[in-house]
Amino acid sequence: MVQIGTDVQKAKDYLESGQVIGIPTETVYGLAGNALNPDAVLQIFKVKNRPSFDPLIVHTDSIDKVESFVTQIPEPARRLAERFWPGPLTILLPKKAIIPDLVSSGLETVAIRIPNHPLALKLLAMLDFPLAAPSANPFGYISPTTARHVAEQLGHQIPYVLDGGSSQVGIESTIIGFAEGGPIVYRLGGMTLEKLEAIVGRVSVRSHSTSNPKAPGMLSSHYAPRKPLLLKKPEEALATYKPERIGVLAFEEITRLIPVEHQQILSVTGDVSEAAKNLFAAMRALDAFDIDVIITELLPEMGLGRAVNDRLRRAAFK
């Protein structure tokens, strides 16, 4: 069975031997391997059962290192990197040949970020290669926010999970790229549009793709529990399901129409950032209940509420 621990040297040894492991970041836990080793990258795809046309994010610990993987960092991208790295922001940049095409799914750009987690940064500083690290879950399922989540889902396929506690942001990084028309957000995530626009001006959002995505995490159906998740009000669901067969993923208030033990509240204070942090753990808890369906409603379209709503819409996509 997989080991869970805080031994960064052990994590380094596994990665240097070409194996893949679970690592913490402030967003969600990642399934990490040597981004410059095609065999290790292929193992990431195999363990996740991830389609090879869905590119990976490369993680490192300094902008100086980033410059050895890309041909240039455009001026607006550099401003974002200097302001928000380390942090929950991934930037698409033109890649050098040192980055295997398997990492970028054949695209000319590579997705790169510096995670804001002390154990991850310590590990990355000890390595002489960057890490490719998508979320450490079976492809399409709920992302993991604790080491235990990783062990439960992938423990029979990997040797080690570096335990950095619960993820503090709780949803994946925002992904931004730059085209002739200006900055484009390809995935809503842990960095809000408001913060990005304060640095680079107005951004457009192009966050869904049914095939051949331009960036990681763009597929329309994603982040889903095993049980059907529906964007419905309780009274609408009760027309089809018995109350005891319904689970509720609520923003800030429970409903009296459904048994309280089948409800998960994301933030009793109505804080969208707290809701984002609790989202995947709450979805996972509901998925474990003896119920037939999970219902939820969207959050206010502000701040991280946009990213939470993005995850909910994709989890409900059919």
Q: Which residues are annotated as a binding site for ATP?
A: 50, 59, 109, 135, 143, 187, 223
Environment class of 298 (CB within 10 Å of its CB; exposed 0-12, middle 13-18, buried 19+): middle
> Amino acid identity of 232?
K
Q: Which residues contact 293 (CB under 8 A, 6 or more apart)?
A: 227, 228, 229, 230, 237, 241, 245, 246, 247
- Interhelix angle for 272-287 vs 305-315, to 10°? 20
The torsion angles phi and psi of 262, rounded to 5 degrees, stand at -105, 25
The conformational region for residue 223 under phi > 0 = left, psi -120 to 50 = alpha, else beta, is left
H/E run at residue 11: helix 8-16
The torsion angles phi and psi of 126, rounded to 5 degrees, stand at -85, -15
Q: Which residues are annotated as a binding site for L-threonine?
A: 27, 113, 133, 173
Q: Which residues are annotated as a binding site?
A: 27, 50, 59, 109, 113, 133, 135, 143, 173, 187, 223
